[in-house]
Structure 1
Amino acid sequence: MKTEQRLAELGIELPPVPQPAGNYVHAVQTGNLLFLAGKGPFNPDGSVPTGKVGRDYTTEEAYQHARSVGLTLIAVMKDVLGDLDRVKRVVKVLGMVNAVPEFGEQPKVINGCSDLFVEVFGERGRHARSAVGMGSLPNGITVEIEAIVEVE
């Protein structure tokens, strides 16, 4: 099945690709690997959630933040590759959660992105992953996620 058709079936609209927040590019391809820069979350109204997971946000709310990051990462893939069917496999995801020190549910948060990748790409979306807690993230965002994708 075409990935674009799958997005439509799921009722998923990709967000616009944001401008880089620093001196970097959204993605770099070397050989058949596409390295995606870390992206942060957006709320449905376009605002950016900031604060600590485990204090200002629940695991469930942060799961939605991670899902929004996944949507932006897919939008970057489409922008760079032109066709999401060129994604052969999501290889690796690194998810970082801005959380209180005692928070331990980082994997449940980052599942928001991982679940989306599997919904959209099927088996091609299954990946190796790290989900870690951070003392802070840029501008106080709740979640930052980067990915490595194998492309055709």
Structure 2
Amino acid sequence: MSGVPMVRIQREDFDVAAEIARLTQGRADIGAVVSFQGLCRDEQGRLSALELEHYPGMAEAEIGRIAADATARWPLQGLTVIHRHGKIAPGENIVLVVAASAHRQAAFEAANFLMDFLKSRAPFWKKEHRLDGTDGGWVEAKDADDQAAARWTQSPPE
């Protein structure tokens, strides 16, 4: 990969188009850009905010390790990972992964890999705040997230 993966953990929102432009501007070696933009959702209409807490230093280091693993696995021309913390309202951005490569398959796979591992390994904790003022409690980890990440460590079928 040309360059080091860019990893940021921040309270403020991000601009998806600006992040893609930052990664690709002036580059003729990039043939594919895959981005994943994760939003705060509220399927039941009861959430005022999702509060994301992280372990400063550890979160950046772990996401950096995951990003470095992706760049070792796929021929990437660039990689950006941004994860927000703090109170995030429904519909607002939480996470962004942008993978750039000469070819689409590498970019798709790297972005998918990053999200599977961010969901299962990045040290973030989520707490629900409800519209009625009650505390929705901490969101439990999902087995499906661990299973999704496990597929990247399993041997392919013969």
Structure (1 or 2) with the greater helix fraction: 1
**Higher Rg:** 2
TM over 0.5: no
Structure (1 or 2) with the greater strand fraction: 2
- TM-score, normalisation: structure 2: 0.27
